[in-house]
Amino acid sequence: MGLKVGELAHSSGLTVRTLRYYDQIGLLTPSRSTGGHRLYDEADVQRLYRICLLRRIGLHLDDIASALDDPGWDLEHALRRHLDLVDHRLAVSGQLRKRLAAMLAAFPPKTSDVLETMEEMVMLDTAVQRRISILVYEDIAAAHAHLVGVFGLGEGRLDFADGVCVHGEVQAGDGVIWLHRVSPEFGLASPKTLGASTATTAVMVEDVDAHHARAVERGADVVYPPVDQPYGFREYSARDPEGGLWSFMSPLD
């Protein structure tokens, strides 16, 4: 007797919607009971683990579908590799913790200890310290008001020169987005000027359907409503006042 979809969702931490979506796109297709209920056996659970593992390392669902059919896949090898990665990160974290404790115990620390600590920190983090997205607008103040009031982004600074807004910032989760003025000398133009959007700004939200409902109430120019995408997210798209394209999404799992 296999697990029903609700039981597997509860045990795995995934949502019922995600499991049904995986079935819909042929990624994880369980057997059916006489009553039509999905039943997941041991092989299905192992396949789901493979899906989660491949998602963890950054593969999209369409690439995962191809990888799942690889005859060279070995569950034991995958588990050992996964365990090795976790153990390595724990070992580096443990070593860093010991060094920090020793530095506090012998405060002030030696320069050599500080340098070695910095090296271990780099092993845990990437070399890139910060990423800042920059969007171009003809009217920065109006764009700022829309992004905060309609899209629900965090309010940031506005800088003015001679009564004109020349720089703005909004917060999007743990990141910041700068709002830049149009600058022909550097080839920076607003989508309003170009008549087209050359990029999309994607923002992760906790509940994309609730976010969509609030944005609509506040007058958002929605391009399409929330929809489950084949790359593992439920998202909707909207345009800002100057035609910039935004996507708001939540992971299906």
Q: How far is CA 96 from CA 69, 113, 156, in A?
A: 40, 11, 35
Share the mean pLDDT of the chain.
85
> In CATH, what number does 132-251 get?
3.10.180.10
Residue boundaries of the structural domains of the chain: 3-68, 86-124, 132-251
- Token pair of 210 as six digits: 């609730």
Band of pLDDT at residue 219, cut at 50, 70 and 90? very high
> Is residue 176 pLDDT above 50, yes or no?
yes
What confidence score (pLDDT) does residue 39 get? 93
Which of 104-113, 145-154, 239-248 comes out lowest in average pLDDT? 104-113
Task: Measure the CA angle with vertex 229, ends 228 and 230; round to 5°.
Answer: 125
| Topology, domain 3-68 | Multidrug-efflux Transporter Regulator; Chain: A; Domain 2 (1.10.1660)
Please determine, for residue 17, whether its predicted confidence score (pLDDT) is greater than 80: yes
